[in-house]
Amino acid sequence: MEHVIDKTVVEKDNAAREGNLRRDYDTLGEQLERRGIKIDAIRDKVQNFGVAIPSWGVGTGGTRFARFPGAGEPRDIFDKIEDCAVINELTKATPSVSLHIPWDKADANRLKQAASRFGLGFDAMNSNTFSDAKDQARSYKYGSLSHADAGTRQQAIEHNLECIEIGRTLGSKALTVWIGDGSNFPGQVNFASAFERYLHSMREIYAALPDDWRLFSEHKMYEPAFYSTVVQDWGTNYIIAKELGPKAFCLVDLGHHAPNVNIEMIVSRLIQFKKLGGFHFNDSKYGDDDLDAGSIDPYRLFLVFNELVDAELNHAEGFNPAHMLDQSHNVTDPIESLMLSAVEVQRAYATALLVDRKALEGFQDANDALMATQTLKAAYRTDVEPILAMARLKSGGAIDPVAAYRAAGHRAKVAAARPAAVGGSGGIV
Ligand code: LRH
Ligand code: MN
Ligand code: MN
């Protein structure tokens, strides 16, 4: 397997940190032992936990006002795959890439080869009918899968079928459909007709799914449509998954809800009714901010994982969520942000594994609200960094991914090889 980052740099950086890490790990191990938890078992679970990198996340994003490209921006999907490889080499937490078509369109066999050089696989394929591709016959300005015009709907359906075809060659097993369809003014569309047309289009896409694939529909409250959105919330999303059939599931992007919505409870409902397909992890303060996972409200991320771990330990039927990041970076190096987000997601998983579930159940049954919530807090307050770092070390990654990345001077190297990207106005979703 090829490496992008010089292994000797990582080894040197690890060597300087390993002694302290082992001491910290042993100390934490002792503490956890007192709580009846085997630290190595948690570390093993963390080691096996992966989250996919969105190909679109490794470039600098932007807002609708401006985009300020960074140095060494990936020029194409092959550079993006190389950047994804860096993230996985150092964190050992991101074994796959989630592609967006047509942004990442290239010969599928070449794509597969490029990824397998670095031992990377492909998670869900993403279709794009929220912007117009070059030379496409009909515009998505007024919608795609729910468009009033049958020809435009057909074009959007065919695009999704093409994504499935590309994904088949790549070994992907899922298609995520997010549409921007909706309206900006009351009266602009008939809610029921638009949703009916959407369902009709999705049925055709569903019918083309290979047997071992899943179809994820992703809801989002608003943006780009600001009055109504066709797939606006988890309720509508659940209806979609239910209407389509057993291979259809709901995808939860953490940034796609109204502020203060209880996302962990949505997650619980979808698990209970076997329709949780997966996640786009990120964080937000106001809307679909696409900030780094756990950067604003790490406790919420923990509470989401508390539900996921509960389902995992209870062997909830059909429970197999896809874990993906979906972020946009304006002021940080995307590789650094994505590495830290992958680590944050693992942190939420590890801390949720520490919850004393038996005690929690007892407090719930006894209506002891204070102790129940303290049981969650006791897990959340535990600093699991030594577990995460040890999992990385054992898998051949970096104890401190950002430090190793900086020591390797990777950004400067690619900046020299990749010509500067042009800035300009925004237009990111
Ligand atoms: C929409 C979204 C969706 C898209 C991605 C680029 O806001 O979250 O997942 O595919 O952003
Ligand atoms: Mn998303
Ligand atoms: Mn989004």
Domains of the chain as residue ranges with CATH: 50-353 (3.20.20.150)
pLDDT in tens, 173-218: 999 999 999 999 999 999 999 999 999 999 999 999 999 999 999 9
pLDDT in tens, 384-397: 999 999 999 999 99
Which residues are close to ligand 3, an ion, with C-beta < 5 A?
288
Q: What is the 174 CA–ligand 2 centroid distance (Å)?
A: 14
Probe residue for ligand 1, chosen from 104, 254, 279, 429 as the CB with the greatest number of ligand atoms within 8 Å: 429
| Length of the chain as a residue count | 429
The three-state (H, E, C) secondary structure of the chain, written as one string? CCCCCCHHHHHHHHHHHHHHHHHHHHHHHHHHHHCCCCHHHHHHHHHCCCCEEEHHHCCECCCCCCECCCCCCCCCHHHHHHHHHHHHHHHCCCCEEECEECCCCCCHHHHHHHHHHCCCEECCEEECCCCCCCCCCCCCCCCCCCCCCHHHHHHHHHHHHHHHHHHHHHCCCEEEECCCCEECCCCCCCHHHHHHHHHHHHHHHHHCCCCCCEEEEECCCCCCCCCEECCCCHHHHHHHHHHHCCCEEEEEECCCCCCCCCHHHHHHHHHHCCCEEEEEECECCCCCCCECCCCCCHHHHHHHHHHHHHHHHCCCCCCCCEEEECCCECCCCHHHHHHHHHHHHHHHHHHHHCCCHHHHHHHHHCCCHHHHHHHHHHHHCCCCHHHHHHHHHHHCCCCCHHHHHHHHCHHHHHHHHCCCCCCECCCCC
Residue 61 clears pLDDT 90, i.e. is over it? no
Q: Which pLDDT belongs to residue 94?
A: 98
Region 22-33: what's the mean pLDDT?
Answer: 98
With a 6 A CB cut-off, is 126 part of the ligand 1 pocket?
yes
Q: What is the 178 CA–ligand 1 centroid distance (Å)?
A: 7
With a 6 A CB cut-off, is 208 part of the ligand 1 pocket?
no
Residue 25 clears pLDDT 60, i.e. is over it? yes
With a 6 A CB cut-off, is 195 part of the ligand 1 pocket?
no
Q: Which pLDDT belongs to residue 428?
A: 44
Q: What is the 326 CA–ligand 2 centroid distance (Å)?
A: 5
Specify the range with the lowest mean pLDDT, choosing from 98-107, 170-179, 279-288, 420-429: 420-429
Q: Which atom of ligand 1 is nearest to the CA of 429?
A: 7
Q: Would you place residue 383 in the very low, low, confident or very high pLDDT band (cuts 50, 70, 90)? A: very high
Q: Which pLDDT belongs to residue 429?
A: 46
Q: What is the 255 CA–ligand 2 centroid distance (Å)?
A: 8
With a 6 A CB cut-off, is 56 part of the ligand 1 pocket?
yes
Q: What is the 327 CA–ligand 2 centroid distance (Å)?
A: 8
Q: What is the 122 CA–ligand 1 centroid distance (Å)?
A: 17
Q: Which pLDDT belongs to residue 419?
A: 82
With a 6 A CB cut-off, is 429 part of the ligand 1 pocket?
yes
With a 6 A CB cut-off, is 280 part of the ligand 1 pocket?
yes
